[in-house]
Chains A and B, each alone.
Chain A
């Protein structure tokens, strides 16, 4: 007698959920596995283009697609909001849909901006982590006539950790092209005693910042900001005035994860770093920014995690043994300014090496939205 068709339920329709669903569809027989994705976004924005769009280096229209158009044939997409998760009974509840049962659940709900953690943020700061904010910032930069710009992040962790330095290099390039660099001071703030989390990449980036005349404030953990006097203050007692503040907002995991008991107050879920399952549940997995893994919160990470997890679930569904583990592999290309970029490869045990920058890496970055929407998101690479 043939086994009953299994049911995989993926929570989240961002990069992690979409890649996971499409990869899993490629790896499994639809007669053996049903795949449902539940999420509530209308559009899918390719966030890495936030370091291009504010400067007019890319048109934002190429960076957005309707969410529902991005799932492969055989993936059932449900546009709804999950309101509770019941791991013991293998089910979730969603607003209009009601109860949905599963055999495997993959939590790919990402994280959120917790601007409530930094009073004054919404009045004073700009950022480039959503399309709406990025377009506002583009307008603000178009009006900018010179002065002091402060760039940085409100806290750790954030999505795409290299983005603040990428943005800073692009800003430097943009101001040079507009003839405003001489009349503008760029100040880069960072919470650690370097300019990036990974020491060897940090050395490379810090040298470039010095060459470009970017002023660096290390060990600057944002404590408060005053929109009236336009001053940013650190826990360490330093104050930096600004004319334009570009600050990546504080992040937290989704509140639903805390409310459901899957995460602590931070909202990030503790998962097995080599197998991506939650605690001792062998049918509950977490991928992407929702985890508290010690690696970058980025689409590139979700991509590598999904490759591992899709193979694992597919093997189990088809009755094959699977002995591999996820070792924290990630690869990403980051801009270093002047149409140059570096590509970093790293894992839990191997830190990245930043040896050289190149124009071909910049081209790779510039075209990455096309690669993302046509191949990576579709699960075919």
Chain B
């Protein structure tokens, strides 16, 4: 991953729609250019979060498998 996250949200153990709502909250509080990372164990979020990132016109940096969880990284572009 090229860019270091400005904010990391550890939403492991939280169920849908918790991780996505945490991501949206961080997005609202952040500024353009911020890189936000979410750790999650919820499978539904793997689909929901990228859909929201695209719809909201932001950039999906990537989805990364980690040990026992995954990480979704977005860049705030608007």
Chain A 182-211 per-residue mask, 1 if CB under 8 angstroms from chain B, else 0:
000000000111000101000000000000
B69 at the interface (CB under 8 A from A): no
Whether the pair A193, B52 counts as a contact (CB closer than 8 A) is yes
Q: How far is the CB of A263 from chain B (nearest CB, A)?
A: 15
Do residues A235 and B51 form an inter-chain contact, with CB atoms below 8 A?
Answer: no
Q: How many residues of A contact B (CB 8 A)?
A: 13
Chain B: interface size category = 10 to 19
In the assembled complex, A221 has its CB within 8 A of some CB on chain B: yes
Are A219's CB and B52's CB within 8 A?
Answer: yes
Chain B, residue nearest A157 (CB):
B21
Pairs A–B under 8 Å by Cβ, sample size 13: A156-B17, A192-B48, A193-B48, A193-B51, A193-B55, A197-B17, A219-B52, A219-B55, A235-B56, A236-B56, A236-B57, A237-B56, A294-B18
Closest chain B residue to A220 by CB distance?
Answer: B55
| Residues of chain B having any CB pair with chain A under 8 Å | 14-18, 20-21, 24, 27-28, 44, 47-48, 51-52, 55-57, 78
Report which A residues bind B (CB closer than 8 A). 155-156, 191-193, 197, 199, 219, 221, 235-237, 294
Closest chain A residue to B57 by CB distance?
A: A237
Contacting pair A221 B24 (CB below 8 A): yes
**Bound: A44/B55 CA distance, A:** 42
Contacts of B27 in A (CB 8 A): 235
The 8 Å CB contact of A156, one of B21, B55, B56, B57, is B21
The reply to whether A219 and B57 contact each other, CB–CB distance below 8 Å, is no
The 4 closest A-B pairs by CB, nearest first: A294-B15, A219-B55, A236-B56, A193-B51
**Docked CA distance A219–B15 (Å):** 18
Q: Which residues of A contact B16 (CB under 8 A)?
A: 197
Residue pair A235, B24 in contact (C-beta under 8 Å): yes
Which residue on chain B has the smallest CB distance to residue A194? B48
CA A192 to CA B51, docked complex, whole Å: 9
Least distance between B58 CB and chain A CB atoms (Å): 9
Most buried by A among B16, B44, B55: B55
Please measure, in the bound complex, the distance between the C-alpha atom of A339 and the C-alpha atom of B48, giving whole angstroms: 33
- The residues of B that contact A294 with a CB separation of less than 8 Å are 14-15, 18
Complexed CA–CA distance, A110 and B51 (Å): 32
The answer to whether A235 touches B28, judged by C-beta atoms less than 8 angstroms apart, is yes
